[in-house]
Amino acid sequence: MQYRALGRSGLQVSPLCFGGNVFGWTADERTSFSLLDAWLDAGFNFVDTADVYSRWVPGHTGGESETVIGRWLKQGGRRDKVVIGTKVGMDKGLAPQTIRQAVEDSLRRLNTDHIDLYQAHKDDTATPLQETLECFAALVKEGKVRAIGASNYSAARLSEALAVSQRLGLPRFETLQPEYNMMERAGFEGELQALCRREEVGVINYYALASGFLSGKYRSREDAGKSPRGAGVVEKYLNERGMKVLAALDAAAQRTGATPAQVALAWTIAQPAITSPIASATSLAQLQDLVRAAQLQLDAQTLRSLDEASAP
């Protein structure tokens, strides 16, 4: 498998990243362990989580996903084979004291002495960028963090953060985690994409399958059934453009012998500036879909037809 450089961090990651939000939620601990084992066995090495996963589940407070990964790591022999990305600051901001407490909590839950990629989960305009970046720099110096990244930052704020790091000689955000897929192109393509390419910032986009829409499983209101997620997807994407995208995916799937989901992921992997899209699986069968997606090479004509169908 051809690994990719994660920004200028020196880290090398697989062309797909496993989204760990499912661990301890829709995948119980035993299933999560089998998924993580299979991910590594298939040659992948990148796993993304956050300190707030899975607080949306009744009775959960956040940190459940990290805890599952930590228990898996505790079995031994795997830490040097996996690149772990986690996040801080979704709820409590990015003040130094918040980051300090959060990193210790994440390290404890993950059963590790270092985090490979520590990401600001969302921008905190109430805390000066210099204070946040100086705190991250201290964690890098102490060996608790190898590289830092940003999630959900605008082009203007990411550019400002990179400038602060350069001016002060601090570690910079090596990655950006934006929402990006065939149905959500406008927010990333343009300023953010150009900035990431120019500054060699790695991009690890989330919602790579548009909450399941690009798998083709939601083609009518009836398909959504009683699923709140499905209903939301139908309301957002089941329109003329969405049907045009599904038709293009179907045609590409038939031509390549792949599934629409595999084609959609392969399209994303092939996009400029994208390093490693994030995708999840809750079964070994779904994981094999991800493996095949990473192996799928789309020809220029297929990419062009998908570009045209999904044009914003």
List Cα–Cα distances, 239 to 156, 188, 220, 263, 302, in angstroms. Answer: 32, 21, 10, 20, 22
* Three-state SS sequence of 151-170: ECCCHHHHHHHHHHHHHHCC
Which residues, other chains included, contact 195 with Cβ-Cβ below 8 Å and sequence gap of 6+? Answer: 155, 158, 159, 201
Which residues, other chains included, contact 64 with Cβ-Cβ below 8 Å and sequence gap of 6+? Answer: 23, 24, 25, 53, 54, 57
Tell me how many degrees the CA angle 13-195-171 measures, rounded to the nearest 5: 60
Asked if 281 and 18 touch (Cβ cutoff 8 Å), the reply is yes
Beta-bridged to residue 205, according to DSSP, are none
Neighbours of 42 (CB within 10 A): 18
Residue 3 bears catalytic tag: no
List Cα–Cα distances, 269 to 16, 117, 125, 180, 233, in angstroms. Answer: 8, 20, 31, 11, 22
Which residues, other chains included, contact 174 with Cβ-Cβ below 8 Å and sequence gap of 6+? Answer: 6, 7, 8, 9, 11, 117, 147, 148, 149, 201, 202
Q: What is the DSSP code (8-state) at residue 44? A: -
Distance from C-alpha of 55 to C-alpha of 57, rounded to nearest angstrom: 5
Active site residues per annotation: 53
